[in-house]
Amino acid sequence: MSELTHSLSGQTLWITFNRPEARNALTFAMYEALADLCRNVPEDGSVRAVVLSGAGGKAFAAGTDMTQFRAFDKAQDALDYEARIDAVLEAVERCPVPTVAAINGACTGGGAAIAAACDLRIASASLKFGFPIARTLGNCLAAANLGRLSALMGAGRVREMIFTARLIEANEALNCGLVTEILPDEAALMERAESLAMHLAKMAPLTLRATKEAMRRNQAAARAEDSDLIELCYMSNDFRHGLEAFLAKEKPQWTGT
């Protein structure tokens, strides 16, 4: 069975992260499949909205499959990884129709980055959103990701969330503007996602497309150089130790080296 599935219902393209046994942790193949789908959404009116969700009832997506990091042995591996993820997120942002993240359960790491790149986010009451890397891996977010999050939540809250490695729950996510609606459970969430997609399909498509692209350009104009920061974290002893400790379900002991 495919780890990322998609289907067209009416004018809505439904994309599902489908590794429930791993809380939908994202492989590189899943990232690329998502990017390809977003890049190839037809502009002939047959698709008017895209809805992203996760299978299994427990997670939207729990970040990148960390076993893939074991192959990193030089700075260029880390830089290539962040550039690859940024290209995927840009593909989501450049999708010509509105994108809706329907978030049930855990939405962390790469999954949270994808949700932040979508146009709209709705969630169930079980939402847990964040980037707990300061207590798990010891890597960092690219500047572009921090910019997306800051635009949604405010820079102060982003700093606090990452520094403390805590996960934001449903009510806080609604209050800070991260999500626009909270539904009581997954069934209600998916029902609302369908009705929201149908509503979006009735809007002027060029207005939506122009607004999406103008806002993407505004965000892109503010990007900062961050290759030195990516190398600092990914090539550290802490990152290598944190990765192996996480996979062994042990608590890392940070050294700052």
Average pLDDT over residues 49-76: 92
pTM of the model: 0.95
Q: How many CA atoms lie within 13 A of 55 on its CB side?
A: 18
Q: Which residues pair with 59 in a beta bridge?
A: 106
Strand, helix or coil for residue 197 = helix
Q: What is residue 221's predicted lDDT score, i.e. its pLDDT?
A: 76
- How many secondary structure helices (H) and strands (E) does the chain include? 10, 10
Strand, helix or coil for residue 241 = helix
| CA dist., res. 136 & res. 151, Å (int) | 25
Strand, helix or coil for residue 212 = helix
What CATH number was assigned to the domain covering residues 4-186? Answer: 3.90.226.10
Domain ranges within the chain, ordered by starting residue: 4-186
User: pLDDT tens digit string along 28-45?
Assistant: 999 999 999 999 999 999
Per-residue pLDDT at 127 exceeds 90? yes
